[in-house]
Amino acid sequence: MQQQSKEVLPSGLLLVFWGMVATGKSYLASALAERYGLPYYNSDRVRKELAGIASQGSQKEKVDQGIYTAAFSRRTYDALLDYADKHFRKDSRSCVVLDGSYQSEKERALLRDRFSGRVRILFVHCTCGEAVVKERLRLRAMDSQAISDGRWEIYLAQKKRFQPVTALEQIEVIGLDTDAPLEQLLTRIEENIRQQGVEIGSKTSCQN
């Protein structure tokens, strides 16, 4: 009988997948979390849980309205901080995945303020061309089970306010164009972690 052994990520690691809507961050973050069996928190799902509504199905809110006001977004991102903090307080060797837009430098700084010196933080900045964004949004609009409420007008609004990576941030950010095969993207993340001097472990293998 064959048994499958899982890959092992380094302990004490916070992986933050961020970027504008439809840039593939949730697809990539959830795939990595599933591969390694990691706790995974998605901002869209957390936002709807806080609002007491079903996570699946679109909320046709206007930009910055309804559950997308600045105040409700603050609640959402504070909850993400708290969820990750809970894992690290319980076990400092935990490895946690967060998934959200983190479109302002201030929002990303809050993560550093909370976790720097406690765990390693790695930001995975997801991008892709606008033609790819439009196609992904078109397909999402037809998916009744989609969790994200992202639409083209929301993408354009985010584009205006999105704050790019600063020189100070570059040392801890992986930039990925997600218009590539999933396995290739996951491999790039693993390689970047190794470049920081952390051993990830062996690939998934089957043993007798």
Higher pLDDT, 113 or 203: 113
Q: What is the pLDDT of residue 208?
A: 28
What's the confidence (pLDDT) of residue 114? Answer: 96
Q: First-to-last CA distance in the chain? A: 6
Q: pLDDT band at residue 59, thresholds of 50, 70 and 90?
A: low
Judge whether 26 and 99 are in contact, CB under 8 Å: yes
Is the pLDDT at 144 greater than 90, yes or no? Answer: no
Identity of the amino acid at 205: S
Q: What integer pLDDT is reported at residue 197 of this predicted model? A: 55
Q: What is the mean pLDDT of the chain?
A: 86
Q: Domain limits of the chain?
A: 3-207
d(CA 47, CA 114): 20
Q: What is the pLDDT of residue 84?
A: 98
Distances in Å between the alpha carbon of 147 and those of 46, 53, 55, 92? Answer: 10, 11, 6, 30
| pLDDT, tens only, 31-51 | 999 998 899 999 999 999 999
Percent of the chain with pLDDT over 70: 86
For domain 3-207, give the CATH number: 3.40.50.300
What is the value of pTM for the model shown? 0.86
